[in-house]
Amino acid sequence: MEALKNVFESKNQATSPALVTFVTAGYPTVQDTVPIMLAMQEGGADIIELGIPFSDPIADGPAIQETNVVALQQNVDYVTCLNMLREARSKGLTAPVLLMGYYNPLLAYGEDKACQDASEAGANGFIVVDLPPEEAIAFREKCARANLSYVPLIAPSTSENRIQFLASIADSFIYVVSKMGTTGSSVTGTMNSALPELIDRVRAYTDVPLAVGFGVATREHFDLVADAGADGVVIGSRLISIIKTASQNQVAQTVEAYCREISLKGQPPRRPSTTHTRSSTSRVSTTSKQQSTSAATSSLPHRFGQFGGQYVPEALWDCLVELEEAHKVAMNDPEFVKEFESFYGYMNRPSNLYKAEKLTQQAGGATIWLKREDLNHTGSHKINNAIGQILLAKRIGKTRIIAETGAGQHGVATATACARFGLECIIYMGAEDVRRQALNVFRIRMLGAKVIPVHSGSCTLKDAVNEALRDWVTNLSNTHYLIGSAIGPHPFPTIVRDFQRIIGKEIKAQLNAEIGKLPDAVVACVGGGSNAIGTFYDFIPEKSVRLIGVEAGGEGIDGDRHSATLSKGKSGVFHGVRTYVLQSPTGQIIETHSISAGLDYPGVGPEHAWLKDSGRAEYVVATDEQALRGFRMCTQLEGIIPALESSHAIWEGVRLAGTLPKEANIVICLSGRGDKDVEQISQLLPGKWEDVLDWHVPQQ
């Protein structure tokens, strides 16, 4: 930590900002990283950021995303990063080094051990992109014990109160993000003209040095940032581009030459032509720092037990606070509730509760009821949340809507709602899902929305969420991210649940009208978990009602080709929330598989994680084959074609019914209709598919 402070003190005396450079460990090869770090120092870099690779870097643009992919293909993990740092130190690296990356690999490694081992390897601190200070109270304490700096970030969207809080906890310097969006730079790009004003806003609260990054590529950019009053200038994406285009045996030399071009090493320092205050002249009192710290850390984001939270890049923090407040006020406003309910006719609510006599007969036990969310407008439960969030977005003045979709049902519902309200609509969808859900893609486009296929990662739902988050962080001023499942940072899981809980409310009232009592069990499929939490929520206090979620078992949970997050995952942080995650031992998010695009996701809503750990809900799996059998069973016995997602719940519901007495009643949430899946199934089972799959359900 002291080494970082010393850098800024010496550079201030020289009246030249510190040069902070970035490289992803293991890019372009494992063998290149140490020579690159030494070349950066030789070229005039004062501080080096060593990137820890992560599978889903939501705050990074294409250049740094690619470096993460390349590094992970070479099995670079946290241990590898520390070994590289040790080797660099042994070969003469003296510049302070910050380990920069995302939280989940550190969490998987163990926070205490991560800090201790980093200190022993010669690191000077951490920049953790998705670990804001409110979520990092324990981690910051561990850093301090190991004499490591925890570097906070400030973005253009950061509020005054929050700037004061972030400034109060900075122990070496603050990383100021110069513009909204993801990482990236261009030699022809321009710097944010409002940067001097942003630096002045921060200077009002602290004399801690400020290092500015995002968008710096040339010496001209460096000088503009220096003239704005920065104490340090961070260059990352441009260095990655330099490395990528360098000759294979000239990478280190090319990096050194570029750093010299920026640092002007060996030349007289250029005095910044600025009237802006530098870090030695502005100071806030210790008392005000203590007050701002206690005020900012007095309440944590809402959680479900240990799960939930807001593990997001700094640029999103205040936007989430605004959204939470807007949702709270709206749900307590009778006029908003009245407006939402006025669209029940449009949504086709209440959806029917149907007594499935043929399925009941097939099961030979409990009576089976189907909650017919498939009869809703757009063919699934997704319209409930889409209409609710659109009304919320209009309430806070957003005119552009983005969403992710897997099976396409949420995309269709969002595009439908946007068409109804005249809003611009962008839908992100994994390229693999675009292929297998071509009918819904056509529907979305027909409704006037734009579909953007995502070709990164596994090309499925998680990658669509990544791209939607990157879009949102770039366009916060006019854009609302309409998350479709009960996932993501607080308040999204709560928002989605609140708009989907109408499912469980209606089940309770409708079944009471039919038989005068509660069901013995409710069953729903679980991917992210929106239809399931909507089904479960009003029954959580009813201890006599079993809550059963059915995950996608894919090709079997003994291997890796499944999406059974609650059954096989571990606690981690993914897409802004602490929950169960399918991940490698080193904290990388693994690729999942399910025949149903809507369940093909490696995370799950935090409320489901809590329900599992508390024992209130049960979570089981149905394999691809069992889902197909459930699909055929429902189709040919009841004349109802269910979505493949819902077919998982059909299979388990019929199996469960066969184990219960005839006087029992279970309700299965039929979350969507299956016309979207017919073409996919016809390709999977060519010819007479009824000869391929029977519907015998073992009763065990």
Residue type, 95: A
User: Which one is catalytic: 60, 135, 171, 471?
Assistant: 60
129 close to 315: Cβ distance less than 8 angstroms = no
- Check residue 684 and give its pLDDT: 80
**Residues 655-668: what's their mean pLDDT?**
98
**Residues 366-394: what's their mean pLDDT?**
98
Strands 546-554 and 521-525: parallel
Dist. CA 260–CA 248, nearest whole Å = 20
**Residues 390-403: what's their mean pLDDT?**
97
E-state strands within 271-339: 303-304, 307-308
Average pLDDT, the chain: 92
- Check residue 691 and give its pLDDT: 61
- Check residue 346 and give its pLDDT: 98
The SS3 assignment for 523 reads strand
- Check residue 188 and give its pLDDT: 62
**Closest C-alpha among 496, 528, 503 to residue 385:** 496
Residues 6+ apart with CB under 8 A from 551: 525, 526, 527, 562, 563, 564, 565, 566, 567, 599, 619, 620, 621, 622, 648
Residues 6+ apart with CB under 8 A from 340: 387, 388, 391, 499
pLDDT tens column, 472-484: 988 999 999 999 9
User: Which one is catalytic: 32, 42, 49, 314?
Assistant: 49
pLDDT over 90 at 612, yes or no: yes
**Residues 15-21: what's their mean pLDDT?**
92
582 close to 566: Cβ distance less than 8 angstroms = no
Q: CB-based burial of residue 193 (10 Å sphere; 0-12 exposed, 13-18 middle, 19+ buried)?
A: exposed
pLDDT over 80 at 455, yes or no: yes
CA quadruple 349, 502, 355, 625: dihedral sign:
positive
For residue 125, is it left (φ>0), alpha (ψ between -120 and 50) or beta? left
How far is Cα of residue 315 from the mean position of the Cα atoms in its chain? 14
18 close to 41: Cβ distance less than 8 angstroms = no
Dist. CA 645–CA 671, nearest whole Å = 8
User: Tokens 């561990």 sit at which residue?
Assistant: 142
pLDDT tens column, 187-233: 666 777 889 999 999 999 999 999 999 889 999 999 999 999 999 99
Cβ burial 360-384 (10 Å sphere, 16+ → b, else e): bebbebbbbbbbbbbbbbbbbbbbb
**Residues 457-465: what's their mean pLDDT?**
88
Dist. CA 421–CA 443, nearest whole Å = 17
Give the pLDDT band (50/70/90) at residue 437: confident
pLDDT tens column, 624-656: 999 999 999 999 999 999 999 999 999 999 999
Active site residue 49: yes
The SS3 assignment for 13 reads helix
pLDDT over 70 at 317, yes or no: yes
550 close to 564: Cβ distance less than 8 angstroms = no
446 close to 438: Cβ distance less than 8 angstroms = no
Give the pLDDT band (50/70/90) at residue 294: very low
Residues of the chain with pLDDT > 70, as a percent, come to 92
pLDDT tens column, 673-689: 999 999 888 888 766 55
Dist. CA 26–CA 632, nearest whole Å = 49
pTM confidence score: 0.93
The SS3 assignment for 432 reads helix
**Residues 404-416: what's their mean pLDDT?**
94
pLDDT over 50 at 548, yes or no: yes
User: Tokens 């978990």 sit at which residue?
Assistant: 529
- Check residue 308 and give its pLDDT: 97
- Check residue 688 and give its pLDDT: 58
- DSSP for 62-85, please give it: HHHHHHHHHHHHTT--HHHHHHHH
pLDDT tens column, 122-143: 999 999 999 998 889 899 999 9
pLDDT tens column, 231-275: 999 999 999 999 999 998 999 999 999 999 999 998 876 666 655
Residues 6+ apart with CB under 8 A from 99: 49, 50, 52, 81, 85, 118, 123, 125, 126, 127
Dist. CA 366–CA 98, nearest whole Å = 61
Cβ burial 422-445 (10 Å sphere, 16+ → b, else e): ebebbbbbbbbbbebbebbbebbe
Residue 254 belongs to what H/E stretch?
A: helix 251-263
Strands 47-51 and 97-101: parallel
Give the pLDDT band (50/70/90) at residue 286: very low
- Check residue 48 and give its pLDDT: 98
For residue 309, is it left (φ>0), alpha (ψ between -120 and 50) or beta? left
β-strand partners of 264 = none
- Check residue 289 and give its pLDDT: 42
Give the pLDDT band (50/70/90) at residue 440: very high
660 close to 666: Cβ distance less than 8 angstroms = yes
Dist. CA 99–CA 88, nearest whole Å = 14
Residue 255 belongs to what H/E stretch?
A: helix 251-263
